[in-house]
Amino acid sequence: MEIQLYDTTLRDGAQQEGISLSAEDKIKITLKLDELGVHYIEGGWPGSNPKDVEYFQRIKSIPLSNARISAFGSTRRAGIRVEDDGNIKALLAAETPAVTLVGKSSDLHVLRVLETTLEENLAMIADSVSYMKKQGRTVFYDAEHFFDGYKANPEYALQTIKVAAEVGADCLVLCDTNGGMLTKEITDIVSLVRREVTTPLGIHCHSDADMAVANTLAAVTVGATQVQGTINGYGERCGNANLLSIIANLKVKMGISCVTDEQLAGLTEASHYVSEIVNIPPNGQQPYVGVSSFSHKGGLHVAAMAKVEESYQHIAPETVGNAKRVVISELSGRGNILHRLNELGLADMVSREQVVVLLDRLKLQESKGFQYEGAEASFELMVRRSLDGYRPPFDMVDFMVLVENRRRAPANGDHEDMLSEAVVKVRVGSQLMHTAAEGNGPVNALDNALRKGLLESYPSLDAVKLLDYKVRVVDQGQDTRAVVRVLIESTDGKSQWQTVGSSSNIIEASWMALADSFEYFLIHQG
């Protein structure tokens, strides 16, 4: 069974709140989709905005290995000749090998949204599809609101796709535009349509009832041969069917070879690549490609997986380019600790008795607000500090932070309203460093003062930069007395690491996480 993969990230996916793609963004995503093995890429709506015009102009000269570009637009307007319709002209001007025409299949939308007659709507569909076929285009007819329309008026909904089929549509795409259908409704209606028309069927589902992927796969089982979706399920309202999950399920679960094994292994990288371009953080819990989709936290789970890898994983994560992770937390057992120690290369240095002590220490720290599943650098430091002979590269002795409002001017002339100054004492070997520095806030001042005290001994610290700083209230309901957890993500330009601190004093929590970040970097510098 052959299945066409049709991606609409650049058009339908871009309708998600917070997503705005430049023409260059669209080109980059197109190349990634082509690499992934997608058969058709919907580039946008020609003429709707200057960026889409630029995209269609540029993509003409870019060679693609697997994909063909489709331009999206509506059928002609009511009461106008098809060759005079501006949207139809724009579709032709895009010069794509395929066009996707959307038309109304619901009598409600024909009568009350388009405000035309049912007969005129049928003529609009027939004229538009026929005209595009005569221009040599592959034509996909998107039957908008088909399932809702069928439930309300099955005879008319069927008429709309039959007229498209009669004039040569290459595929009839049945759309659950409102995303409210359940799986049985999808299979029942697609099965009936399959008996009524011989033209290939496609399926386009939205996820308003959280059923889009399941409904898409169900449609395939009863005869749909084109599946439409978006990368990471981006789209209006609750999003579209997630094409990545669809690909994985088709290939791995249903045995349908829609992509090669090598392309399937690029699924996770493609997800993160597009996530970076649209500037939306990846969903860690996203099936197959999320960072947590093969993460294991419960001690019983990890103990079982140490014996049988597939005991708590439905597929090998490498199949989709992902990786197994064992998370360290208060729910961990000794197996979690041992697995992480093996990854760190420290297992031979820690006795079984020390593993028990580490586990107790971990649980005690998490009861105080620390959390190590997102701060593996701090966990590694906890382990190393428990080893005989470990000598930290520096010892924190004391600090003081001052925040003033308009009392005196800062030395560098910045921050006119507020002044933050930190005084730090830190010991390196036998030398006690006593430094002070200003910053645009208390944490930045601490960072600057600590660096100032350490850079003479460790000049490589200059490469360490802060990527992210997060504060989370641990015991909510305690107002400003609450314990807070600070997570810091750092980088040296080559790798990234996360550290944690926890205290009822936000500055102390920040101090802990910051000091861990520097210590972790230095011990890995040797």
**Vertex 471 angle, CA 513 and 509, to 5°:** 35
Cα diameter, the chain: 91
Task: Please give the Cα distance from 377 to 372 (Å, whole number).
Answer: 8
DSSP secondary structure string for all residues of 206-273: B-TTS-HHHHHHHHHHTTEEEEEEBGGG--STT-B-BHHHHHHIIIIIS---SS-HHHHTTHHHHHHH
For residues 296 and 302, is the Cβ–Cβ distance under 8 A? Answer: yes
> Can you give the pLDDT at residue 412?
60
Task: Specify the CATH superfamily of domain 395-524.
Answer: Alpha-isopropylmalate synthase LeuA, regulatory domain (3.30.160.270)
User: SS3 of 516, please?
Assistant: helix
Task: Please give the Cα distance from 8 to 33 (Å, whole number).
Answer: 11
The answer as to CATH 3.40.1160.10 being correct for domain 4-259 is: no
Single out the residue of 196, 45, 70 nearest to residue 132, CA to CA.
Answer: 70
The domain limits of the chain are 4-259, 295-366+376-385, 395-524
> Can you give the pLDDT at residue 97?
98
Q: What are phi and psi of 56, to 5 degrees?
A: -65, -30
Q: How big is the chain by its Cα radius of gyration, in Å?
A: 29
Q: What is the pLDDT of residues 291-301, one digit of tens each?
A: 888 876 655 66
Task: Please report, in angstroms and rounded to a whole number, the separation of the first and last CA atoms in the chain.
Answer: 56
For residues 241 and 262, is the Cβ–Cβ distance under 8 A? Answer: no
Angle subtended by helix axes 506-524 and 442-454, to nearest 10? 30
Amino acid 12 reads: D
> Can you give the pLDDT at residue 64?
97
Q: What are the C-alpha distances in Å from 147 to residues 124, 174, 224, 441?
A: 20, 7, 14, 56
Edge-to-edge strands of the sheet including 418-428? 395-405, 418-428, 431-439
Sites in the chain below the pLDDT cut of 50: 330
Q: What is the pLDDT of residues 468-507, one digit of tens each?
A: 898 988 876 566 778 899 999 999 988 899 999 999 999 9
Listed in order, strand segments (DSSP E) in 300-372 are: 325-326
Single out the residue of 384, 289, 313, 319 nearest to residue 345, CA to CA.
Answer: 384
